[in-house]
Amino acid sequence: MIKEAICTGATIEEAREKALAELAAPEDIEVKIEVLEMPVKKTFGLFGGAPAKVRASYEESPAGKAIDYLKRVLEGMGIPDVTVKEICEDGHYRLDLDCGENHGAIIGRRGETLDALQYLTSLVANRGAEEYIRISLNVGDYREKRDETLRGLARKNANQVLKYGRNVTLEPMNPYERRVIHTTIQEMEGVQSHSVGSDSDRRVVISLEEGVKPTHGGGYHKGRGGRGRSGGRDSRGPRRDASSVSREKNPQEPSRTPHRDAGSAPLYGKIETKTE
């Protein structure tokens, strides 16, 4: 997309300066200057004459209009003078925001404000685009810290699944967060993950791979009479579990409720946001 500004002035330099000011191109963008009309002096200083006309233009990146929109929204939030650095990698545009001490206001609780800004910015960037443009926002090193928190969450719960064999369902996450969890689980042996739910209630479920046995509670059980299969028989006769013995001593005691899958696990640990 080409952005341009056409201005006039008594001289070419004056018209050029006006066009550059109106265009307000980023500092690292190469601006093309074209002289559309040369200035014409008045006859005898009284009749005729015409000003110079200059066009200043540059090719805006796909994320350019999204950056303009983002700055307007942030200004409306009372956060002016935000510097946005655009980084493009394999068609993915990452916008790094430098907003001084206003990190917390942009990030919001659990990153909800930053995620909302990212969603809106992505909509603007893809309006009228022929191919989908992926946009992500970052403030300071928040995303890096958040990714590490999510990876730690995935590993911790995957180890619980490997140990006890019970599925773990995490709290609802956005697509980006679920992708981090799935990627981490794929790097671990014996566990797998899939998503359930829809829209804002979509969440990740971590479970054992087919054929994998949990490491806790199975296998051989060592008792005082030697080794034997847990729940089997030894030389002293049939084994009884603790709950049946307890009920014999106290018939009024109700049976214990069977274990269920963990309903949910905390989504985030504490993420420190550093302000300088």
**Mean pLDDT, rounded, of the chain:** 76
Which residues, in sequence order, are bridge partners of residue 4?
57
CATH number at residue 91: 3.30.300.20
Residue 223: inside a domain: yes
Can you point out the beta strands (E) in 132-261? 134-139, 168-170, 191-196, 203-208, 220-223, 226-229, 233-234, 237-238
Please report the pLDDT score of residue 180 as a whole number. 94
* 149 and 120 together in one domain: no
The amino acid at 37: E
CB atoms within 10 A of CB 59: 12
* 73 and 132 together in one domain: yes
Residue 276: inside a domain: no
Residue labelled with tokens 């985030």: 268
Answer with the residue of higher pLDDT: 201 or 255.
201
β-pair type (203-208, 168-170): antiparallel
Residue 275: inside a domain: no
Tokens coding 265: 């696990």
* 148 and 266 together in one domain: yes
Cα atoms found within 13 Å of the Cα of residue 250, Cβ hemisphere only: 7
Please report the pLDDT score of residue 2 as a whole number. 76
197-213 as b/e: b if 16+ CB within 10 A: eeeeeebbbbbbeeeee
* 185 and 228 together in one domain: yes
Please report the pLDDT score of residue 263 as a whole number. 40
CB atoms within 10 A of CB 23: 18
What distances in angstroms separate CA 117 from CA 68, 114, 191, one per listed residue? 13, 5, 34
Tokens coding 268: 């985030």
Three-state SS for 78? coil
* 20 and 84 together in one domain: no
Show Cβ contacts of residue 43 under 8 Å, excluding neighbours closer than 6 positions: 49
- The confidence band for 27, taking pLDDT boundaries of 50, 70 and 90, is low
Split into its structural domains, the chain has a count of 3
pTM, 2 dp? 0.53
pLDDT at 71 over 50: yes
* 173 and 220 together in one domain: yes
Q: What confidence tens digit (pLDDT) does each residue in 135-172 have?
A: 889 888 888 888 999 999 999 999 999 999 999 999 99
Residue 44: inside a domain: yes
What distances in angstroms separate CA 170 from CA 108, 113, 142, one per listed residue? 21, 21, 21
CATH number at residue 204: 3.30.1370.50
* 162 and 238 together in one domain: yes
* 40 and 83 together in one domain: no
For 88, the enclosing helix (H) or strand (E) is strand 83-89
Q: Where a domain ends, among 10, 35, 59?
A: 59
- Domain span including residue 10: 2-59
Answer with the residue of higher pLDDT: 57 or 45.
57
Residue 248: inside a domain: yes
